A and B are shown apart, each in its own frame.
Chain A
Amino acid sequence: MLRIRRWVRITPAGAVVDGVPVRLEPTEDPLPVALYRPRVGGYPKFFKMDPLCRVGFLASELLLDGETSRFEPREDRAVVLFTQSGSFASDSHYERTIADAADYYPSPAVFVYTLANILTGEIAIRNKYYGETSCYLLDREDVETMVETVRETFLDGATHSVLGGWVDSPDSANFEAELFLVEESEEGAEWAADELRRIMKDK
């Protein structure tokens, strides 16, 4: 049986964990930084990430906050994410660094974010996950495809929980992450698909 243990949503309007809004002190910082400082901190790599990775990373941090045995190496948790814009923001940024032949300085730090699957890598590296990691590009937020793909991930026999969901950020001002932690359980529904559908569609 599978159950959803926790879910997180982050949009420019704020962050929500299991339906409860995350309270933040007033600050001039943009929301991702305003969330990072009090809720994560101590991980300077955050500031090197592109907008897509920042919002995905933050959502994963809120999702995993308080989990016991965190940061212990494990192979039984998969990271399965879905996005529409993928690395488009970083692609555009990188293009600007090489657009002018007279000012041609390709940025390695920008280039590393021009593959969308670095999103799953940032989360796996941070948490020492050595299991399945996948990042799918969809033409829209297709809940049914996400639900089915997550369900199939468990069929490999090695995966016992999935950190999955939707992450999109066409630019730094527009971002959305809806992540959930699905795990095998002795109790609960036969399959958490209906609950997932409700969470993902209930906006």
Chain B
Amino acid sequence: MNELVSELKNAIIEALNLEDVKPEDIDNDAPLFGDGLGLDSIDALELIVLMEKRYGIKLQDPAAGREIFRSINVMADYIAAHRTK
């Protein structure tokens, strides 16, 4: 799981152009939106694309992302349980 968490952090930094953020800056349990990384609605859509492109997970209901993208740990758990690639 640690490997997936680390990979996920790097993938998010790259996909969302978080130029000044390092993987170690991202708290595994901190919210990704709002006070955490300060991501916005476009970032949420980009995360949905990332989930499908990298892990083969197609989120049919964008509203489900609200729960899945709650933190890095929650996201990694979901990916580990649902990934198809």
Write the residues of chain A forming the contact surface with B, with a CB cutoff of 8 angstroms.
33, 44, 47-48, 105-109, 112
Contacts and interface: CB of A to CB of B under 8 A. Distances in A.
A105 B21 CA distance: 24
Contact of A47 (B17, B38, B43): B17
B20 A47 contact: yes
A175 B76 CA distance: 40
Contacts of B17: 47-48, 109
A33 B16 CA distance: 17
Interface in B1-60: 15-21, 38, 42-43, 45-46, 49, 52-53
A122 to B, nearest CB: 13
Contacts of A109: 15-17, 42-43, 45-46
A106 B49 contact: yes
Interface centre among B15, B43, B49, B52 (most CB of A within 10 A): B49
30 contacts: A33-B19, A44-B18, A44-B19, A44-B20, A44-B21, A44-B38, A47-B17, A47-B18, A47-B19, A47-B20, A48-B16, A48-B17, A48-B42, A105-B49, A105-B52, A105-B53, A106-B49, A107-B46, A107-B49, A108-B42, A108-B45, A108-B46, A108-B49, A109-B15, A109-B16, A109-B17, A109-B43, A109-B45, A109-B46, A112-B42
Contacts of B46: 107-109
Interface in B65-83: none
Contacts of B53: 105
Nearest to B48: A108
A44 B18 CA distance: 7
